[in-house]
Amino acid sequence: MSVSELSRLLQGLDDNLIRILHGVAYLAGAAVLTMLVSSVVRRFRNYWLDLMRERKGIAGIEMEKQTRTMASLLRRFIVTVIWALAIALALGQFGLNVAPLLAGAGVAGIAIGFAAQSILKDWINGFFLLTEGQIRINDVIQIGQFTGAVEKMTLRTIALRSFDGSLHVFANGTVQSFSNKTLLFSYYVFEIGVDYAEDPSRMMALMGEVDQSLRDDPDFGPLILDPLEIVGVDRFSEQGVIVKARLKTVPSQQWLVGREFNRRLQRRCEQAGVTIATAQRAVQLFDREDPSTGARRAFFDPLARHEISGMIREAVRQEFDRRESPDAAP
């Protein structure tokens, strides 16, 4: 190998090495920018969350949820753009013309869009869900038969974490309807069973006392928005008389308040001697010597039914013979 050939080889290796280093530099820069953007978005989010915590009440809670949701979406969008540009620039270092690739990607994207309409539907539905504020991070929602807290939300999917730890993921395009249990305010619905021997008015009075004690409690009072709304006697069941009521609370706190209400109500009923209803069954016993019992046994016992049928047939035959007899009265 001549000196000139060796020189061209080394020069070519140097050029390739420089291109590789430039490509690596672009990717490394994208990684650094990703960490920087994540840090800035996190600081911005925490700043707004601190402001929202100073605004007590429902408005502060709602803005806090919205801030968490939009910050997560903004970070993902910026990071995606950064990495797309870094990869395009890195490919350009190896002599690949990025412009035709982007144009081709645009055309291919249109073709894929027609073939992947479900994905576009997911993105469009996710965009409206996010911008309209119908679902936010930490909201408790119900989709179909699944209920859980919104753990993660993107333009394509919603992830719910249920109470037992299961993670349920739904494509936004499939979410036709849902129930948000923690938007603006929440209700805890009580259905208290009262024994039939008790006066339901006594139970209602005790429920009012427990409600007042909760609202006077510094730990639970700020979580309750309105006094207990007692609907009254709702229905009758095998357990007893059902008294229905509901308590309005700040979002996501209805279960905490409801559990404490039930605990205090149970203790208050014990102190007042009011019986909370339990499942009941009525059992009726019959005496064996009772004639009605014998009739019931005859109805259900096949042998007894056969004996009674024979007795009836014999009585009918005797009556027929008596009427056919010449000595019978006209």
Is the model more confident about 166 or about 238? 166
Domain residue limits, the chain: 3-115, 140-180, 186-272, 291-321
**Cβ atoms of residues 243 and 230 within 8 Å:** yes
pLDDT value for 76:
77
pLDDT value for 329:
47
Burial of 290 (0-12, 13-18, 19+ CB in 10 A): exposed
pLDDT value for 184:
85
Q: Judge: domain 186-272, CATH 3.30.1950.10.
A: no
Which residues, 6 or more positions from 281, have their beta carbon under 8 angstroms from its beta carbon? Answer: 238
Q: List Cα–Cα distances, 40 to 26, 74, 155, 174, in angstroms.
A: 21, 11, 22, 34
**Can you tell me the distance from the alpha carbon of 148 to that of 168, in angstroms, rounded to the nearest whole number?**
8
Identity (one letter) of the amino acid at 54? E
Percent of the chain with pLDDT over 70: 66
**Can you tell me the distance from the alpha carbon of 303 to that of 329, in angstroms, rounded to the nearest whole number?**
37
CATH classification (class only), 3-115: mainly alpha
Tell me the two tokens of residue 80.
């995606």
pTM of this structure: 0.56
Q: Judge: domain 140-180, CATH 2.30.30.60.
A: yes
**Can you tell me the distance from the alpha carbon of 38 to that of 251, in angstroms, rounded to the nearest whole number?**
29
> Looking at the predicted structure, is the pLDDT value of residue 172 above 80?
yes
**Can you tell me the distance from the alpha carbon of 242 to that of 200, in angstroms, rounded to the nearest whole number?**
9
